[in-house]
Amino acid sequence: MSSKKVRGNPSLRRGVGSQTTDSDKIMEDPPAGDWLALRSDQLLEWIDNSVYNVAESTGIREVVDRITRPIFNFAQRLSPHPLHFGIMCCAIEMGQASAPDHDIDRLGLVYRSSPRQCDILIVNGPVCEKLRPKLKTLYEQMPEPKWVIAMGECAISGGPYWDSYSVVAGADTFMPVDVYIPGCPVRPEALMHGFLTLQKKIRAKEPGMFLRR
Amino acid sequence: MAEMWISMGPQHPMTHGLWTLKVKVDGETIVDADPELGYLHRSVEKMGERRKYFMNTTLTDRLCYASSTTWTHCYAHSVEELMEVEVPVRAQYIRTIMLELQRLASHLMWAGAYMPDLGHITGALYFWRDRELFLNLLELPSGSRLLYNFIRIGGVKRDLPNGFEEKTERILKLFEQRLDEYSDLFENSKIFRMRTDDVGKFTAEQAKNFGITGPNLRGCGTKFDLRKHDTYEIYEEIDWDISTREAGPGYSDCFSRYMVRIDEMKESVRIIRDCFKKMPAGATLASRVPVRAHGEAFRRTEDSRGEAMMYVVGDGSDRPYRWKIKSPMFTTMSACPHYLKGYKLADIPAIMGSIDICIGETDK
Amino acid sequence: MDIDEFMQQFSTSKGVSNISKIRENIVKLDLTKEDSLNFFDSIKSDFEHCSLISAIDNQPDFELVYHFSCINQAIVVKDSDCAVMLEAHVYLKRDAPSIDSISNIWFGANWHEREAFDLMGIYFIGHPDLRRVLLPEGFAGHPLRKDYVYEIHEEEW
């Protein structure tokens, strides 16, 4: 895709309002002998960028991406691992969707308890002021690539609680959302349609091995 | 050994609902606990003051999402006391049928969520498969699987559809056979009994002081059910019994609380069948429901989890002046340090699961 | 004990006034703030379950409504299975909204009092742990008061 050296859109990916670190900027070669002065994430970022620059300038990146993108894409979209997280009524329908009658587990879903092992965060209820920092932490603990599904009216815009003093007007005020599923509550069939829409989005947009857009 | 605080935070697979439980452990044994709520506080009481009386039924549906009709019914019941509205007899029968179907769906939801806590994931699939049957039944009169908005002030939204009685009878017969299968699968299972016998004990006296009501109190042997002791709708005409169990003289454990809910499901089946037999023809909504109300009213009903209470104050306008909601789980969770002390860390899902928490009604 | 006997016995207690009956099983009375703890001490063996504590903002003063219920049938309604309840109203001034806490008598009152403090700002003297229960720690103000102002993004209807 693009040959820019920037890692995605920093303000959107890091979320609005979170602290930005020094590693947002492109690292140049450190002064000789100063390798040990780098922090571990800066070191990894520097190595990553060096490898990318070498691969880009020699043309290997195009070749590797063309081979690995379909394979990684195939694996990512057909094995979504959502986080085991339920807020309100839509979480009950999310659970009921895994029950024998609807069985969305046939899409490859495996619910994981730890955010470090997940791809997808499903926001299935109203986000209150007390919950907002914890949800932000959960989102930041998930490794890339990750997607967010806003399930239900409360997560899209506040829903029936639009005039409450403690409900945030939608999950997209503080984190980027990929798929919006309307409904109050969302039927299991609509949730399945939401996952299939996310699969289409992953197929159309997601990168291969080098994680550039 | 050193003591430390462990936080089972808002995102945890075993705490059903969004709350934090901080436990202080000495090795593996629990020494103290500190629950923290408020992650789902949507200020329903304040929002209710901005809406007219009949508009609040959409908010009460979402108070407890696993058992939503019972909360709308509690609200409608209190406002009918405030406005002095008489509900027609056929509407009372229809309400009773919907409440008992909702109680079945709620207990099946609880059972399906309790089994994975003990490691028995097949139990979740069995109970949720049966819950699907009742959700389809509840969808026929009201149009929605989960949040119905069916019970209105003065009656119900519309009459039951044609063929509802035959469909219900077919499903109840199937469900009764399945309940017998489950009693063999779970109650005779040695691992299930090991995890639930003698775990999470509290006496009836302690429970009454803590504010615990409902199936948790009936699991201690106390024969107290609001459907008989502060009766409402048509429960006094129906032939049914209160289900109680006890683990020993005057105290309960996880297994007795589990058995009380299974017994209640069997009683609900009996109540629904009796209602269909005795239901008369007639109107389903009161002919004149006033718009303005003045005064105060207090009513309590037997929710699937305990005693749900509402206190409504009207000041003569068409909106409530103050609306107070009491959830049975609010006080039950405040007492969790007492019934968690002395048990192991791995017993927490078994004990908190047998209490049957729903955070939506607790946090309002 | 019959409910009418109970009403007769307690109508002369210190601080009690306006005793009456709602429907057939709820005893309603008004209580003064200073005598509330003594009264609750005297009924604790009959009413062993503290059901609800509601706080109401009748501009300009506050009102606390206590509900207790009798499960062990120490007090009964004649010829009926109905369980008896007690509803006590206490009126507090706006510039001194404080009252004695009953958490030592009924443990179930503990969180009800915390919620009344959290949402309405009423102080309970002698409560072991009076802090916010539903709202976040740093929240300013008591939202359920009628003079609490907050922004709503659409117009009133």
Query: Please, which pLDDT band fits residue A196 given cuts at 50, 70 and 90?
Result: very high
Across the range C136-153, mean pLDDT stands at 83
Tell me the chain A residues in contact with residue B10 when contact means C-beta distances shorter than 8 Å. 131, 134
Using a CB-CB cut-off of 8 Å, the residues of chain A touching B47 are: 161, 163-164
Contact B41 C135 (CB under 8 A): yes
pLDDT in tens, B14-42: 888 889 999 999 988 999 999 999 999 99
Could you tell me which chain A residue has the CA closest to the CA of C135? A130
Q: Which of C72, C83, C134 sits opposite B41 (nearest CB)?
A: C134
- What is the reported pLDDT for A117? 92
Buried-state track B79-112, b at ≥16 Cβ within 10 A, e below 16:
bbbbbebebbbbbbbbbbbbbbbbbbbbbbbbbb
Residue A129: which of C136, C152, C153 has the nearest Cβ? C136
- Secondary structure (H, E, C), chain B: CCEEEEEECCCCCCCCCCCEEEEEEECCEEEEEEEECCCCCCCHHHHHCCCCHHHHHHHHHCCCCCCHHHHHHHHHHHHHHHHCCCCCHHHHHHHHHHHHHHHHHHHHHHHHHHHHHCCCHHHHHHHHHHHHHHHHHHHHHHCCCCCCCCEECCEECCCCCCCHHHHHHHHHHHHHHHHHHHHHHHHCCHHHHHHHCCCCCEEHHHHHHHCCCCHHHHCCCCCCCHHHHCCCCCHHHCCCCCCCCCCECCEECHHHHHHHHHHHHHHHHHHHHHHHHHCCCCCCECCCCCCCCEEEEEEEEEECCEEEEEEEEEECCCCEEEEEEECHHHHHHHCHHHHHCCCEHHHHHHHHHHHCCCHHHHHC
- The encoded tokens of residue A46 equal 């520097």
Evaluate the omega torsion of the peptide bond into residue A70 and state whether it is cis, within 30 degrees of 0: no
Inter-chain contact B42–A126, Cβ cutoff 8 Å? yes
* Integer Cα distance of C94 and B217 in angstroms: 38
Query: Do C136 and A130 count as a contact with CB atoms less than 8 A apart?
Result: yes
The per-residue pLDDT for range B91-114, each reduced to its tens digit, is 999 999 999 999 999 999 999 999
What subunits touch chain B, counting only 3 or more CB pairs under 8 A?
A, C
> Parallel, antiparallel, or unpaired for β C16-22 and C26-31?
antiparallel
Whether residue C107 and residue B45 make contact (CB cut-off 8 A), yes or no, is: no
Q: In what order do the strands lie in the sheet with B294-303?
A: B294-303, B306-315, B320-326
Q: Mean pLDDT across the stretch B299-324?
A: 92
CB B64 within 8 A of CB B83: no
How much is the CA Rg of chain B, to the nearest whole Å? 21
Give the per-residue pLDDT at A153: 92
Distance CA B62, CA B30 (A): 34
A207 preceded by cis ω (within 30°)? no
pLDDT tier, A212 (very low <50, low <70, confident <90, very high otherwise): low
Mean pLDDT of chain B: 91
CB contact under 8 A, C111 and B364: no
- The pLDDT tens digits for C99-128 are 999 999 999 899 999 999 999 999 999 999
**Closest Cβ opposite residue A99 in set B40, B46, B132:** B132
The secondary structure of residue A101, as a DSSP letter, is T
- The reply to whether residue A165 touches residue C136, judged by beta carbons under 8 angstroms, is no
Residue of chain A minimizing CA distance to B44: A164
Predicted local distance difference test score (pLDDT) of residue A211: 56
Instruction: Quick: pLDDT tens for B75-87.
Output: 999 999 999 999 9
Going by their DSSP bridges, the two strands B251-252 and B202-203 should be labelled as antiparallel
Which tens digits make up the pLDDT trace of A85-104? 999 999 999 999 998 889 88
Distances (CA, A) of B133 to B97, B170, B173: 15, 11, 12
- Point out the least confidently predicted range of A26-40, A113-127, B121-135, B246-260: A26-40
Tokens found for residue B335: 């007492």
Residues of chain A found within 8 Å of residue C139, distances taken between Cβ atoms: 129
- Look up tokens 């806003």; give the residue: A150
Helix axes B68-83, B89-117, angle to 10 degrees: 150
Distances in Å between the Cα of B104 and the Cα atoms of A60, A186, B155 are 62, 22, 22
Residue C157, exposed/middle/buried by CB under 10 A (0-12, 13-18, 19+)?
exposed
Q: What is the DSSP letter of A5?
A: -
Residue of C nearest to A161 (CA): C152
Burial environment of residue C140 by CB neighbours within 10 A (0 to 12, 13 to 18, 19 or more):
exposed
Whether residues B41 and A130 touch (CB distance < 8 A) is answered with yes
Amino acid at A143: P
pLDDT digits (tens, 9 = 90+) for B139-172: 999 998 989 889 999 999 999 999 999 999 999 9
- Structure tokens belonging to residue B349: 């899902």
A162/C135 touch (CB, cutoff 8 Å), yes or no: no
Query: Can you tell me whether residue C44 is helix, strand or coil?
Result: coil
Chain B residues whose beta carbon lies within 8 Å of the beta carbon of residue A96: 128, 131-132, 135
Closest Cα in chain A to C137: A130
- Torsion angle, CA of A165/A169/A175/A176, rounded to 10 degrees? 180
**pLDDT for res A49:** 82
Residue whose C-alpha is closest to residue B356's, from B90, B86, B64: B64
State the helix-helix crossing angle for A188-205 and A60-77, rounded to 10 degrees: 170
How long a stretch of residues is chain C? 157
Fold adopted by B3-363: Cytochrome-c3 Hydrogenase; chain B (1.10.645)
Q: Which residue in A131, A135, A157, A163 has the most chain C C-beta atoms within 10 A of its own C-beta, making it the best mutation to test that interface?
A: A163
Which residues in C lie closer than 8 A to residue A129 (C-beta atoms)? 136, 139
What one-character-per-residue DSSP string does A145-156 give?
S-EEEEESHHHH
* Cβ contact A130–C135 (<8 Å): yes
Looking at CATH, the fold of the domain delimited by C3-153 is given as Beta Polymerase; domain 2 (3.30.460)
Checking if the pLDDT of C156 tops 70, the result is no
- Residue B272: what pLDDT? 94
Of B18, B62, B125, the CB nearest to A100: B125
Find, in chain B, the residue whose alpha carbon is nearest to that of C82. Answer: B229
Q: Which residues of A touch B116 (CB under 8 A)?
A: none
Q: What is the per-residue pLDDT across C64-105, written as a single tens digit (0 to 9) for each?
A: 999 999 988 888 888 888 899 999 999 999 888 899 999 999
Max distance between CA atoms of chain A, in angstroms, equals 63
Instruction: Give the whole-number percent of chain B exceeding pLDDT 90.
Output: 63
CA-based max dimension of chain B: 70
Measure B41 CA to nearest chain C CA, in Å: 6
- Report the chain B residue with the minimal C-alpha distance to residue C132: B38
- Of residues C87, C108, C143, nearest to B331 (C-beta): C108
Comparing alpha-carbon positions, the chain A residue that sits nearest to C142 is A165
Could you state, in order of their start, the residue ranges of all structural domains in chain C?
Answer: 3-153
Write b or e for each residue in B248-286: b if 16 or more Cβ atoms lie within 10 A of its Cβ, otherwise e: eeebbbbbbbbbbbbbbbbbbbebbbbbbeebeeeebbb
The pTM of the whole model exceeds 0.80:
yes
Question: A195 pLDDT exceeds 90?
Answer: yes
Ramachandran class of B274: left when φ > 0, alpha when ψ lies in -120 to 50, beta otherwise = alpha
DSSP C120: H
Buried b (16+ CB within 10 A) or exposed e, A29-40: eeeeeeeeebee
- What are the structure tokens assigned to B197, written together? 């016998």
User: Residue C67: in which H helix or E strand, if any?
Assistant: strand C61-69
Residue C20 to residue B160: CA distance in whole angstroms: 41
Chain C nearest C-alpha distance from B130 (Å): 34
Per the CB < 8 A criterion, the answer to whether C118 and C134 are in contact is yes
User: Does the pLDDT of residue A14 top 60, yes or no?
Assistant: no
Provide, as residue numbers in chain C, all residues whose Cβ is less than 8 Å from the Cβ of A165.
143, 150
Domain map (residue ranges) of chain B: 3-363
**Quick one: B54 exposed, middle or buried, by C-beta within 10 A (0-12, 13-18, 19+)?**
middle
Residue in chain A nearest B56 by alpha carbon: A160
Closest-CA distance, C144 to chain B, in angstroms, reads 6
**CA-based nearest distance C73→chain B, Å:** 10
**Shortest CA gap C65–chain A (Å):** 25
Q: Which helix (H) or strand (E) holds A138?
A: helix A132-141
Confidence (pLDDT) at B167: 94
Say yes or no for a CB contact (<8 Å) between A163 and C136. Answer: no
